[in-house]
C-alpha cells in the first residue's frame, strides 16, 4: 500500500505547473526612442508657447495638433516618466489656454481637468506636481467664472 502512495505522489508531482518565467520585457520608458520623444514633445511645447506669445495662434495650434500623437505614445507605456507627464501636461495647458482665448470654455475646462487628474494621481507628489495641479485648478475656476458670465 505504501508503494502505491509513493508512486501516486511521484506521478502527481510531475503534473505540477512549471514556475512562471521571468518577464524579459524591457521598460519602454527606458528605451532610447522614449527619451527622444520626450525631448521632441518638450521642444514642440516651447515652440507653440513662443508662437502663442507672438500672436501666431494658428501656427501654435498646428504644433499642438501635431503633438497629440506624441502624447498618446508617451503616455501609453505602463509607467510614463515625469518628463513625459510634464511635456503632455504643458501641451494640454497650452491647448486649454488657446480654447479659453477662443471662448470655448467647456473644451478648455476638459483640458485643464486632464491636468488636475494627472497631477492629483502622480506619485510621488512633489512641490512641482502640487504647483501644476493648483495651476490647472485655477484655470478650471477661470473657465467656470467665464461660463457664468
Q: Are 63 and 109 in contact (CB under 8 A)?
A: no
Show me where the domains of the chain are located.
29-148
* pTM, 2 dp: 0.81
Q: Is 47 exposed, middle or buried (0-12, 13-18, 19+ CB in 10 A)?
A: middle
Q: What is the pLDDT of residues 15-45, one digit of tens each?
A: 555 555 555 578 999 999 999 999 999 999 9
What are phi and psi for residue 78, nearest 5 degrees? -60, -40
Task: Say if residue 146's pLDDT is above 60.
Answer: yes
pLDDT averaged over the chain?
90
**How far apart are alpha carbons 85 and 118 in whole angstroms?**
8
Amino acid at each position: 500500500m505504501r508503494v502505491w502512495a509513493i508512486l501516486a505522489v511521484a506521478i502527481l508531482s510531475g503534473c505540477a505547473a512549471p514556475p512562471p518565467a521571468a518577464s524579459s520585457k524591457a521598460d519602454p520608458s527606458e528605451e532610447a526612442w522614449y527619451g527622444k520623444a520626450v525631448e521632441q514633445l518638450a521642444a514642440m511645447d516651447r515652440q507653440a508657447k513662443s508662437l502663442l506669445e507672438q500672436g501666431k495662434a494658428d501656427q501654435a495650434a498646428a504644433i499642438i495638433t501635431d503633438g497629440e500623437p506624441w502624447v498618446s505614445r508617451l503616455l501609453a507605456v505602463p509607467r510614463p516618466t515625469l518628463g513625459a507627464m510634464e511635456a503632455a501636461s504643458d501641451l494640454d495647458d497650452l491647448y486649454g489656454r488657446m480654447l479659453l482665448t477662443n471662448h470655448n470654455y467647456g473644451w478648455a475646462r476638459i483640458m485643464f481637468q486632464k491636468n488636475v487628474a494627472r497631477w492629483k494621481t502622480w506619485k510621488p507628489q512633489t512641490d512641482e506636481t502640487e504647483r501644476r495641479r493648483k495651476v490647472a485648478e485655477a484655470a478650471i475656476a477661470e473657465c467656470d467664472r467665464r461660463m457664468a458670465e
